[in-house]
Each structure stands twice: as C-alpha cells, then as structure tokens.
Structure 1
Amino acid sequence: MSQEQEHYDLDIDKTAANPLRTLRRLVGYALHFKTQLLLALLMLTVAVGTELAGPLVAKRLIDVHITGIEKPWYVTAQSDSSRFAVPLDGALYKRTDRFAEGEARGAEARVLQVGRSYYFIGEPVLFDGQRSLTAEGGLFIKRGSQEKTYAARELTASEMYSFFRPELGGLIWLCWAYFGLLVVSAAFSYGQRFVLQAASNRIIRNMRSDVFGQMNRLPIRYFDNLPAGKVVSRITNDTETIRELYVNVLANFFTGTIYMAGIFVALFLLDARLAAICLFIIPVLVAWVYIYGRKAKRYNRAIRSAVGEINGVINESIQGMPVVQAFRGERRMEAEFELINTRLFAFRNKLLSLNSWTGYNLVGVIRNIALVALIWYFGGEAVASPEAVVTLGVLYAFVDYLNRLFNPIVNIVNQLPNLETALVSAERVFVLLDEEGEDVSDRSMLRFAGNVKFDDVAFAYKDDEYVLKGISFEASQGQTVALVGHTGSGKSSILNLLFRFYDPNSGSITIDGTDTRQLPRQTMREHMGIVLQDPFLFTGTIASNVSLDDPGISRQQVEQALVDVGAGRWLAQLPKGVDEPVIEKGSTLSAGQRQLISFARALAFDPAILILDEATSNIDTETEALIQNALEVVKQGRTTFIIAHRLSTIKNADLILVLDRGEIVERGSHDELMRIQGKYYQMVQIQQGELAPTVTR
C-alpha cells in the first residue's frame, strides 16, 4: 500500500462515526429552530394536501359532470322547473342523482356514447359492455355471453348540449376550485421553502460559529498535525454541504414522505384493491436507501478527504509561492496536486457509476412494474369479475396518483448522494467539534508583577522526543532574559511554554508564584505581549493591526506605540498615516515595516511580560538601532525575554541563558559569560569573524 493510500485510509478512519449519532446531533442543531421547522412542515402539509386534492377534483369532474350523462335518466313532472330538467320529445328528463329524496320518477331512459356520438334509449339498459351500431340503427351491447339490442336515436348537437347544460355550472365551479387549490399549493410551497431555507441558514450560521469558536479553543498542538486547508474545508465546504442537507435533502425527504403518505391515503380512498397493488414500492424504497447508503458512504468520505487535501495543497502553494517559484518547484507542486486530483476524480466516477445504476433508471423499472400490475388487474380480474370494474374518473385519478407517486421517489433518490455527502461532512465537522479544547475565558485579572520561574521543566512535542530537559531559571520583575543557542536548542520552545501555547510534560512554570496551568490561557495572556520573527498582519489598516480593534486601546496609544518603536518618520511619508490600508499579511510592506508594526502592537497592549522571538532578525541595522533605543524605554518595569541570533542586541541583558540540545549549559551576564570563554564566547567570536564556526554533532 502506498504512503498516500495509507494517509487516505487514516483520514477516513479519523472521520468515521456512528451515522445515527451524527443524525441525532444534526437534529439537535435543528431543534434550536423547531418553531420555524414545524411551521415549514405545517405549510408543507397544506401544500401537499391541496396539490393532492387535484385528482379527486378531476375524478368528480369526470364521473359526475362528464361521464355522468350515461347514468339513468327518468321522466319528471312537466311542472319541474329545476335547472336539472332536460326537455326532449315533449317530455322532461332528470338524472337519477338529481332527484330529491321521495320525489316521483317516471319512465327510465339512458344516454350512451358510441364513438363520438351520443344516442338516446327510451328504456332501461340491463347491462353495459362493448357497444356498436346495427344496420337498422339500433344500439347493440355485448358483455361475455350476454347480448341485447336497443332502439336508439342519435342526439343532435343541440340536444346533446341540453343534457350537458345542467352540469356546466358544477363543472366550471370545479375548474375554479382546482385552480384555487393550485394557487394555495403554490403559495404554501413558496412559504415552506422560504421558512425552511431561512431556518437552515440560521442553523448553519450557528454551526459555523461553533466550529470557528472551537478552532479558537483548540491548542496549538492540534494545528501542528492538521493542514490549514483541511480546517478551512471543514469550516466552509463541509458546513455548506450540511446546509444543503437542511435546505434540499430534508425538504425533499419531508416532501416525499408526506406526498407518498397522502397519495397512498388517496389511493385507498379511491379503491383499496388498486392501492394494495402498489404497496410493494415501500419496502423496495427502504431497501434501496439502505443499500445505497452503505455503498455511497465510503466513496463520499474519500471525496471529502480529497477535497480537504486539495484545499491544503492550494493554501500551501499560495502561501509559499515565492519559494516555489524561486526553487523551480512548480512541476513538483503540480504533480502533488494532480495525484490528489486524480484520486478525487476516480472516486467521483465510482459514485457517478453507483448513482447511474441506482438512480432514475431504477425508478423507471419500479414504475413500469406498478403499471404492468395495474394493467394485469384491469385486463384480467376486472373482466372476470364485473364487480371489480371501476369508473373512468377513479381510473384517471388512480393513474394520475400513480404517476405522481414516483415524483417524490425520484426526488428522494436524487438526494441520496447529497444525503450521504452531508452525513460525511457532518462527521468531519463533529470530529473537529469533539476535539478537547479550552473555553475562551472573558475573565480579567490584575496586572501581574512579572516574576517568572521555570522549575525543572521538561517538554516534548512528540512522545519521548524531549526538546527541553530540566530547564530551571528565574526572572525577576523588570529583568531582561536572553536565550541563545544553535537552531533546535529549545529557545522558542521555552517561550512557547511561557506563553502557554503548550504545557510542560513535567516540572512547573510560575508567574508571581502561581502555576500557569492554574490560570486560563486568555486571562494570563492579557498581560503578555509577543513579537515573532515572522510577524503576521491582518487585512485592515496600520492602526487596526496595532490595536487589533481592541476598544481599550485608543488612537493616541496606537500612535504613541508607533512613535516609541521608531516608526514615526516612516509613517509621516504615508498618504494616510496610521490609516494606510494593509492587505493580507502586509505583503506590500517591507519586512522591517511589518516588524515595526508588530513591535508597536505588543507595546500598545502594555504587557507585564514582553517576549521577543528573534524579533530583530529581519530588521536593518538602522531600524534595529531605533528599536533598541525604544526598548530601553518601554521595557522598564517589564520582564522581557529575548531570543536573538545577533548577540550584539543582548549585551545589556540581565541574564543570558545558553542552551544546547534542550539544556541550559551556561548562564550569566554578557561579561560573566565572556570571562569563562565557553559556548557563548565562541558564538560571539564567530559572529565577529574572529573564529571559524564548528559543526556540533
């Protein structure tokens, strides 16, 4: 197995979770907006109910007002002036269902259709069946072994219209009712979708806030092992996929479930025998969803993992573009990207193949099976059993409902890929949310004096690979402590522990006698400032980068901090001064200018403990002299820790700690260390060019 495949499998294992638990947590987020969701569900029920009432209206329109003309007609009294009375050949006729209870009826007659014409029969028709006209103009009816010929005369257009005229009012009213149902259905469909999308957006807003808040709760160690692109992918891509779950997937599942339930209720109301034929669809659909879910889950996990890796590669390429181009690494980066992109392409094709096999084609097969069953019923059972015959309106409504039944099935099937993708994305998001972190504290504390003590501190970034071993020293209020040593000796690790980016494996670190592990990280850092070797600037202005938009820092303090670090002359040359725009990472500023802003930021917060991590390495000699003069002023009353490769910048430090492979090998002032002529002495000599450097193995 390749290293890439091992990494991919590991990522899948990390994001794997119990689907039911994932669903419960998604429901938990949704329940925060249960009122809106219940409103949407209610509106959806109304929309589906009004839409499904359409075929029932059509059934009544056909059976009562159109084909109802073939029901028995009876002679009524000549004085009958109701709109249902139809004159013909000197008599008045009224349909059987239009007589009031107990109203007298005369001789029975029938109006039957043959081809496109209608024929009047002045006597009862004993049975119905296949109709045809005889040469003598009679109407011949045959059903099985039964045959009979009736005397009939063809109705003229005006006579035929007179028989339909009493039903026109009801027919027009039903058409308007049908149109009204469509309008109501459309209005409630719009309303439920609007409410559902609004609720979904609020759900995802809360989830994104939780994920971003969790990111702030996580320790620095977590980000050491997870590329930034994957974190970004979970906050943006994965949460957006989950939004689609609430907006489209759940909407289609809810709509489909209610729609199918309503259709089956309507089918049973129309004809229980016909409805029973279609019940096989339910277990088929359940088995379908289950089998598809098991197959699609692995593909979707692989796809989400690959998308996260692609984001990571793109983010890394953009951040390191100068290095990539300077060292001609474009082809290597393209090859790395293409490897992940090809894997993503392969799994998307696998998912596409699965969707093709189990998508619309399977729906068509099930629909055809249901129609074949319906044809078999009418072609066999209905002929053999006359009582099984249904009206034309029932048949129309049934076929209409049967066609409608497969629309939600198609919608549900089409949403199965999105459902599985959303569940995998939710798993990845919840894995991030489940990481152990520390709540961001809003508690404040009094400014501490700045007495720092390291007592036998040991620390390892990875298990049993210690980078610090038995570190012990004290720094009193107002002292400056310098840390020097070769690369990897542990200098930055000491300051990482002091700032509580990490906690020691053993030993203790105290500030004013209090163990730092007993203090909330944010509360402790309130009175600490740090300047890194590679300063980070945010999009905004110079002023916002100094104050970080902290309302407790006034504009006057921002300007004074910039003056204190020697940036006054440079700012005077800018058109907008401290309001000069800064783009991402301050890429339009020089390294020295970015560092000056970083210094001003640390000083504006007036820290009790100031940490300078090789902060002057990117500054020219003139700027360094300005900062050194400023630091002599601002470090009064502060405990200052300095990591510096330029040993000339730490000559005035109160305590210099010389580290070698995670241990303090020398300590003292500059003069004391020069007198003993140890490692520090050699480093000074090397920087002054008086001694050739040696390689320590």
Structure 2
Amino acid sequence: MKAGHKTEKKLFHYAWMFRKPISIGLICLVLAVALELTGPFIAKRLIDQHVVGIESTWHQVKSEDDYTVAYQGDIYKREDRLGRSETTDNPATILQVGSSYYFVDQAVPTTGKREVEGDTLTIQTPDEKLSAQAEKLSLTELYRFFEPERPAIYRLLGLYVGLLLIAAVFQFWNTFLLQRTSNRIIQQMREDVFAHIQRLPISYFINQPAGKVVARVTNDTEAIRELYVRVLATFVTSFVYMTGIYIALFLLDVRLAVMCLLLVPIIAIWMGVYKYFGGKYNKVVRSTVSDMNGNINEAIQCMSIIQAFRRQRQTSEEFEALNSKHFIYQKKLIRLSALTSHNLVNVLRNLAFVAFIWYFGSQSISAQGVITIGVLYAFVDYLTRLFQPVNDLVNQLPQLEQARVAAGRVFEMLEEEGEDVKDSKVPRYKGHVRFEHVSFAYEKDEYILKDIDFEVAAGQTAAFVGHTGSGKSSIMNLLFRFYDPQKGTITIDGQDTKDWSRQQVRSHMGIVLQDPFLFTGTILSNVTMNDPNISREMAIRALKAVGADRFIKKLPNQYDEPVKEKGSSFSMGERQLISFARALAFDPAILILDEATANIDTETEKLIQNALQVLKQGRTTLVIAHRLSTIQQADQIFVLQHGTMMEKGTHAQLLAEEGLYYQMYQMQQGKVKAAAM
C-alpha cells in the first residue's frame, strides 16, 4: 500500500472512531444546504409568477375574488388564475415595453420584439407583425394589478426567511459537532502518540533528537487538527453544496448543467497536481521544522557552553541554514498556490459565465423568448454560489497537504515497534542478580560487552570500575532492560528478566544518576513522582532520612518549594539529595548508583556518603564507580576493560593482585597526593 493511501486510511480510522457525531453533523449539513439552496427556486417563482407574472393575458370576469383587478369599470383576472367553470369575456393583455407597462384591449402575443409609438403597440414575431391600440398604465393602475400578488409575495418571502433560520440552526449544529469532534480526534491522537512514545525503546530516542519528537507531538498533530477542524469541514461542505447546486441546475436546464460538470474533472486534475508538488514541498518543510526545533532545543540547553566557547556565530549560521531552507520551500508552496488557486477559480468562473451568456444568448434570447427572468436569475444565483465552494476547496489545498504530510510523520512514529506495557505487579524480589555469558552490541556485531559473567547476592554492594567506554553503563542498561543482550541471560532471583515485562523488571529498581534530573513541580512531587502509593508523610520521611531537610527548612515553602526546569535553582548536592529521597521513598530491591559523588565538593560529599549508607540498607546496590576511594567497602568490585571482565574481588584482594585495578588506584592516589601538595 502506498504511503499516501496508508496515511489517508489511518486518518479515516480516527474519524471512524467518532462516526456518530460526525454523521449527525453531516446530516445537519445536508439539511442546511438543502434549505439554503431552495432560495433561488423561491426567487424564481416569486419573479416569474408574481413580479413579472402580470405580463400576461387577462380576461374580463363577472364576479370578484382575491385574484381580480378592477380597471376602468371592468373586472379582470389573469388567465392562469381562471377557474374551470368561470365564464370570460373580452380578453386583454398587459405587456412591458422598456420601463413602462401597457394595457392592450385584446389578446396579443406575449413574446417577440415590441415597440410603442404614440398609442400604437407593434409586436414582431417570426410569423407576423401585429399592431394594436395600447394604453399606458399609471403607477396607481399598475400597483392595482400587482395587488393580488402581494399576499403570495409575502408568503414566499416569509417562507424563505423561515427556511434560512432553520438552516442556520442546522448549520450551527453541523459546525459545533464537526469542530468538537475534530478536537476530540486530535486529543485522542495526541494521547495515542504520547502513550506510544513511552513504549518506544531507548534506542529510538538516541537516534531522534528531542526537538524532532516534540515537533511530531505538538506541531504535526496541530496541523492534523486543522485538517479535521477546517479542511474536512470545508471539503465536506463544499462537496455537499456543489452536489446540491448541480441537482438544482439539472432541474433548471440539463444542457447547461452538463456544461458546468466540466468543472469537476478540472478540479480533480488540479487537486492531483497540487497533491504531487505540494506533498513534496511540504515534506521538506515539515522535516525542516523538526530540525529547527531540534537545533533550538539543543542551543537552549547548551547555551552556557555556546557562550563560553564563543560559538554564537556558528550556532546562528547552522540555524540560519535550516531557516533559509524552510523559507525557500515555503516560497515554492506560496508560488504554487498563488499561480493557480485564485487564478484558477477566476478563469473557471469567467469561462462558465461566457458559456452561460452564449447559451442563453443563442438559444433563449430570441423571438421565441423561451427563457423567463426568474430562470435567468436562478441560473446566475446558482452559478455564483457554485464558485464559492470551488474557491474554498482550492484555498484549503495547502492546509490539506500540510496535514497529510504531518499525519504521515505522526503515523510513521506510531508504526515504530513499541514494547508491550504490562503493569501487573510481581512480588518484590530479593535482588539476587546474575549475568551469565552476556554479550551485547548497540550496533550489529560491534559488541560493547563480551562474555560478561558475574553474580551479586541479595543485599550486597557491587561496584563496576573501568575507563570510559569499558561497558559499565551498558551493564546497567541491560539490567534495567533498556536493551536486551544478543547473547547470554540475565536473571534476578533466578528468574530470566525476559520472562517479565520491562515494567515488571523495573518495578522494584531505583536509580540515582551522576547528574540528577528534577522535574518541574515541587520538591515533594519530585520525590513521590505523583505516585498515589507514596504519601506526603512517606516523602518527608525519606527527605529527612537522607539529610535533605537541612536545606529544605531554610526554603520559604519548605517541602512545597517550586522546582524550576531541571531543578536549576538548586545546587548539585541538593538535587542529588532529593534524588536519593526519591529512590528511598520507592523502596527498591535493587539500587543503581551512577557515582553520586563524582561532581560534588568534599563537604557535600560527606553528607551524601551518609545519605548513601541510609539508602543502601537492606537492598542490593550496584555502583558505577569513578572515585575508587568511595567503593572500598563494596562486597565485590568488577573491573572492566573494553567490554571484558578483567578482574573481580574485594578492594583488598584486587590491590593484592597488583593488576589493572591496582594501577587505576595508584593513579588516582597519585593525583590526590599531588592535589594535596
């Protein structure tokens, strides 16, 4: 299936989820359109039957009724208003010549070319030329002949106004239902996208900058919202209006309606052309917007580094390159629309009116006079109305293509293979961790870990040391099931971690990072993570246990002190203590520490070391160590080099072996002595 058709199918699927309100809205739309399109028919009847209808043959009658007119002592009635049993005498005719009306005291043709000279009216027909005596009607006399038509005119006008008011009610419900449903569709789509993001493997976010992911959740879904809110409503409304207008045109005149049908293939061809070129340009535009978001996000996060290394000009140039690319393709889209959209509608409108004039000029405005003013008005009205939906369709094509491309990007992310979320609880495990001949590669055959084999008993503290790139963090990533190894098995209390869902594996694990991350909120919300199972009292108790209450008591709002983005208003040590309290509150069976004291000053380090002792009690602790002096009390120390387990043992045992660990320790001790001197 082509990507475009696949995208359209999924967009339809989301609309189908809310088919009931959409169907009701569309029914309201059809009814509103049908009621509105009765206007020209009512106007046609009003003009032909009641406004210019007096230009007809009249008959002298004996009795008066609602349709009779008194003129010069006699009573007259229009021929089309005569009853079957009524007797008539002395037919007469009322004809319009220029802006005046004339009364002819005999029956004469109502078609043909007319001229008046004095009191003589001449009528030229294809068959003959007739002359007759005619009396010019005064304004008062003319109004008298219009008098019988006034009630019908008022009724038709009242009917038209009533239909418009009813149509307005249906139009309101159509607009309300479609727009509310459109927003509900986007709400559902954003919920699906955000939920799917949380199921995506960590590898996806490594390959995708955060700005690009954010752009798909916000910018792209907003473009899709425009599709449902404006584009869909416009297209449906336009198609319904055009269908209704074509039905009306066919009822008025089949030949002209067939000529107007030429608009349909022209619009279809134009939409296909725009879809091809507009789709290509929009893909570049949407992709560039994502790149710009990623660039801006990175620049803001790293602004201190950019300014410190005087990279402002280079950073601006990188952004300007993306901005220029965006501008160029936006300009192409604008040119594509400007060259054709408005011009196309104008050309089509003019051609349609040329055809209209030619048709009526050659076929109707003749001596036979087969066209009435009412029909002429109705055709002009419907043709004028026909081009409004055409104009709306063409003007919405840019938004349609933007939405299609944006939808393709969103659905592309939704198609990324996610992980099943299984939150069912597993009993709290003891924390016996074992890696059996584990090998792992981020990229195919480029193994970061090679045949790793170790075991940590429940309640023990194990440290992993090694130079950068040795594989320490990769071991933690595997234990957390951010990734799965290509070879070997990982067990907790003898249970293969692959037999549990990723959520179940992590349900009794805690982690404290070297650079702790705090969320926007309060100190307490960063400890509880809004988990209903962790009460305010439990969170405060955890903060006190790790010693964080020493600085919290000095804050204006204490435990409810607001936390800005990333906790920038707190020092590194304060952020670290809050993250310790978070881990303690969740009471994990396995605790992973990415050397929490690596970036801490000596005074704060003592406070943190005390907090660590509290945190380690009663749980298995795995430490990624940078300072070897902080892990001397560990039950086991594993030394890694280039993904291979080189040594294992206690601090004393490894020093006695005088191997790699010994060299690392001596090197660090030498630096410490040099620093002291």
Asked whether the two chains share a fold, i.e. TM above 0.5, the reply is yes
TM-score (norm 1): 0.94
**1, 5, 9: which one aligns with 1:24:** 9
The answer for unaligned runs of 5 or more in structure 1 is 1-15
2:637 is equivalent to residue 650 of structure 1: no
Alignment of 1:313-328 (within 5 A): 313-328=295-310
2:504 is equivalent to residue 504 of structure 1: no
**53, 56, 69: which one aligns with 2:54:** 69
- 1:692 CA displacement: 11
Aligned to 1:92: 75
State the secondary structure of the residue aligned to 2:255.
helix
- 1:383 CA displacement: 5.1
Aligned to 1:107: 90
State the secondary structure of the residue aligned to 1:181.
helix
2:416 is equivalent to residue 435 of structure 1: yes
Alignment of 1:474-493 (within 5 A): 474-493=455-474
- 1:627 CA displacement: 2.5
Taking the aligned partners of 2:128 and 2:174, their CA distance within structure 1 comes to 56
Taking the aligned partners of 1:612 and 1:66, their CA distance within structure 2 comes to 92
Amino acid at match of 2:94: V
Contact 1:484 1:644 in 2 (8 A): yes
Amino acid at match of 1:25: K
Amino acid at match of 1:34: R
Aligned to 1:665: 646
Contact 1:122 1:152 in 2 (8 A): yes
State the secondary structure of the residue aligned to 2:463.
strand
Taking the aligned partners of 1:451 and 1:362, their CA distance within structure 2 comes to 74
CA deviation profile, 1:404-442 (whole Å, cap 9, x unmatched): 001000001111111111111111111111111112222
- 1:44 CA displacement: 0.5
Taking the aligned partners of 2:367 and 2:290, their CA distance within structure 1 comes to 64
Aligned to 2:427: 446
Amino acid at match of 1:529: G
Amino acid at match of 1:52: L
Taking the aligned partners of 1:649 and 1:562, their CA distance within structure 2 comes to 22
Taking the aligned partners of 2:91 and 2:154, their CA distance within structure 1 comes to 28
State the secondary structure of the residue aligned to 1:401.
helix
Taking the aligned partners of 1:385 and 1:334, their CA distance within structure 2 comes to 76
Taking the aligned partners of 1:126 and 1:546, their CA distance within structure 2 comes to 98
Aligned to 1:197: 179
CA deviation profile, 1:441-494 (whole Å, cap 9, x unmatched): 220010001010111111111222221111110000011110111111111111
CA deviation profile, 1:623-661 (whole Å, cap 9, x unmatched): 222232233233232110001211111010011111111
- 1:69 CA displacement: 0.7
Deviation larger for 283-292 or 655-664 = 283-292
Identity over aligned residues, as a percent?
54
The answer for unaligned runs of 5 or more in structure 2 is none
State the secondary structure of the residue aligned to 1:641.
strand
**211, 214, 221: which one aligns with 2:196:** 214
Contact 1:558 1:600 in 2 (8 A): yes
- 1:611 CA displacement: 0.1
Aligned residues: 674
**602, 609, 628: which one aligns with 1:621:** 602
Deviation larger for 619-628 or 600-609 = 619-628
2:407 is equivalent to residue 426 of structure 1: yes
Structure 2 vs 1, CA of residues 412 and 321 (structure 1 numbering), >3 Å: closer, same or farther?
same
**264, 274, 291: which one aligns with 2:256:** 274
Contact 1:566 1:623 in 2 (8 A): no
CA deviation profile, 1:97-123 (whole Å, cap 9, x unmatched): 222233222222111112221110111
CA deviation profile, 1:590-639 (whole Å, cap 9, x unmatched): 11111111111111100000000122222222222223223323323211
State the secondary structure of the residue aligned to 2:431.
coil
Amino acid at match of 2:307: Q
Aligned to 1:575: 556
Aligned to 1:553: 534
Alignment of 1:315-394 (within 5 A): 315-382=297-364, 386=368, 389-394=370-375
Taking the aligned partners of 1:209 and 1:87, their CA distance within structure 2 comes to 77
Aligned to 1:684: 665
Aligned to 2:524: 543
Taking the aligned partners of 1:363 and 1:658, their CA distance within structure 2 comes to 75
Taking the aligned partners of 1:483 and 1:338, their CA distance within structure 2 comes to 45
- 1:685 CA displacement: 1.6
Taking the aligned partners of 1:463 and 1:339, their CA distance within structure 2 comes to 34
State the secondary structure of the residue aligned to 1:588.
coil
Aligned to 1:13: none
Taking the aligned partners of 1:233 and 1:34, their CA distance within structure 2 comes to 28
Aligned to 2:391: 410
Taking the aligned partners of 2:499 and 2:400, their CA distance within structure 1 comes to 45
Structure 2 vs 1, CA of residues 672 and 509 (structure 1 numbering), >3 Å: closer, same or farther?
same
Deviation larger for 89-98 or 395-404 = 89-98
- 1:86 CA displacement: 0.4
- 1:144 CA displacement: 4.8
2:30 is equivalent to residue 45 of structure 1: yes
State the secondary structure of the residue aligned to 2:596.
coil
State the secondary structure of the residue aligned to 1:482.
strand
Aligned to 2:145: 163
State the secondary structure of the residue aligned to 1:124.
coil
State the secondary structure of the residue aligned to 1:445.
coil
Aligned to 1:226: 208
TM-score (norm 2): 0.97
Aligned to 2:286: 304
Amino acid at match of 1:269: L
Contact 1:527 1:608 in 2 (8 A): yes
Contact 2:125 2:367 in 1 (8 A): no
Contact 2:55 2:110 in 1 (8 A): no
State the secondary structure of the residue aligned to 2:187.
helix
Contact 1:452 1:511 in 2 (8 A): yes
- 1:384 CA displacement: 6.4
Taking the aligned partners of 2:107 and 2:76, their CA distance within structure 1 comes to 14
2:675 is equivalent to residue 675 of structure 1: no
Contact 1:595 1:619 in 2 (8 A): no
Contact 1:682 1:691 in 2 (8 A): no
- 1:273 CA displacement: 2.5
- 1:358 CA displacement: 2.1
Structure 2 vs 1, CA of residues 273 and 72 (structure 1 numbering), >3 Å: closer, same or farther?
farther
Aligned to 2:245: 263
Taking the aligned partners of 1:36 and 1:611, their CA distance within structure 2 comes to 51
Deviation larger for 203-212 or 433-442 = 433-442
Aligned to 1:534: 515
Contact 1:558 1:604 in 2 (8 A): yes
State the secondary structure of the residue aligned to 1:682.
helix
Structure 2 vs 1, CA of residues 475 and 385 (structure 1 numbering), >3 Å: closer, same or farther?
farther
State the secondary structure of the residue aligned to 2:53.
helix
- 1:382 CA displacement: 2.8
Aligned to 1:237: 219
- 1:140 CA displacement: 1.8
Taking the aligned partners of 1:276 and 1:633, their CA distance within structure 2 comes to 87
CA deviation profile, 1:645-678 (whole Å, cap 9, x unmatched): 1111101001111111111111111111111122
Contact 2:580 2:611 in 1 (8 A): no
Structure 2 vs 1, CA of residues 89 and 297 (structure 1 numbering), >3 Å: closer, same or farther?
same
Amino acid at match of 1:24: K
Taking the aligned partners of 1:375 and 1:529, their CA distance within structure 2 comes to 81
Contact 2:365 2:371 in 1 (8 A): no
- 1:564 CA displacement: 2.0
Taking the aligned partners of 1:586 and 1:267, their CA distance within structure 2 comes to 68
